[in-house]
Chains A and B, each alone.
Chain A
Amino acid sequence: MDSINDENRRLIYHYQELEQAVNVAREQMNSIQNNIFSGESTINTIESLAKSGSGVDDSDSAESIIPIGSGCFVHAEIKNVSKIVINVGSGAAIEKSTEDAIEYIKNRNNKFREMLEDMNKSLITITQKMNEIEQTLRSENS
């Protein structure tokens, strides 16, 4: 009944390992992609805040409303919109100008894109390997 030889069993096991690696890599790539989207959204927010700060009275502050839940908001004033505090990791945060903050986020996003490219290359190699195993197993069965 058990017609699978040791070599095929090894190949199937290896295929399953590769499949798991692909799933993990895809999850990580999704998470990186979300970080990129989040960075782009933050850049838009910083730019909009900077524009609203240099608006009517040039006061470097912006009028805003803050959500308090259930679709309700309270009025608030954001001070120093030309200064952005960035979390740089390990509990450290640095105050930067809007331009420097945008530059920082753009650099971080570029690093994320490079990571995505590298991971994509690895993913292609893994899926090629999986195809080879599939072919070998199919030809053995036919």
Chain B
Amino acid sequence: MYNANAEISPQIQNRITQLQQLQQQAQALAMQKSQTEIMIKEAEGALNELDKAKPDEVVYKSVGEILIRTDRDSLINDLKERSETLSLRLQSYERQEERLNSRHKELQEQLQNMLSGSNES
């Protein structure tokens, strides 16, 4: 267990700061990822409802604060595009997450080695 009263070398302090920053980035990324997943689910739900609707069904899409009338097929296309964009964004978040995780692991190992090295000396 890390002893808070012990003197910490600047290198160890630096690694701890980096690790904390990385954790903050990971938290922010996890939040963005989860929001994107929710938006994808919402788009899928809306597409599902539009699929059930008849081709001549009256549909609207929101533009800013108002809803404007549109046709079902173009709304389906809009939502498919939106869903694809969101999926790409999600993939990019997943790649960033992998990079952060491996960097986190690397830093943790470095810190562990530094701490065990400083304990031995």
Instruction: Flag the segment in B8-16, B26-34, B55-63, B106-114 that touches A.
Output: B55-63
Among A6, A83, A94, which residue has its beta carbon within 8 angstroms of that of B50?
A: A94
Q: B79 contacts which chain A residues (CB < 8 A)?
A: 90, 92
Closest B residue by C-beta to A91: B62
CB distance from A5 to the nearest CB of B (A): 11
B4 an interface residue at 8 Å Cβ cutoff? no
CB distance from A132 to the nearest CB of B (A): 25
A93 an interface residue at 8 Å Cβ cutoff? yes
B6 an interface residue at 8 Å Cβ cutoff? no
A27 an interface residue at 8 Å Cβ cutoff? no
Among A85, A90, A104, which residue has its beta carbon within 8 angstroms of that of B60?
A: A85
CB distance from A86 to the nearest CB of B (A): 8
Decide if B59 touches A93 in the complex (CB within 8 Å): yes
8 Å CB interface, B43-57 against A: 43, 45-46, 49-50, 53, 57
Decide if A92 touches B61 in the complex (CB within 8 Å): yes
Question: How many residue pairs between the two chains, A and B, have CB atoms under 8 Å in the bound complex?
Answer: 49
CB distance from B83 to the nearest CB of A (A): 8
Decide if A94 touches B43 in the complex (CB within 8 Å): no
Decide if A88 touches B46 in the complex (CB within 8 Å): yes
8 Å CB interface, B65-121 against A: 67, 75, 79, 82
CB distance from A125 to the nearest CB of B (A): 22
Closest A residue by C-beta to B59: A94
Q: B43 contacts which chain A residues (CB < 8 A)?
A: 89-90
A77 an interface residue at 8 Å Cβ cutoff? no
A95 an interface residue at 8 Å Cβ cutoff? yes
CB distance from B28 to the nearest CB of A (A): 18
Residues of A within 8 A of B (CB): 6, 83, 85, 87-95, 104
A-B contact pairs, 14 of them (CB 8 A): A83-B58, A87-B62, A88-B49, A89-B43, A90-B43, A90-B82, A91-B61, A91-B62, A92-B46, A94-B50, A94-B53, A94-B57, A94-B59, A95-B60
Residues of B within 8 A of A (CB): 1, 39, 42-43, 45-46, 49-50, 53, 57-62, 67, 75, 79, 82
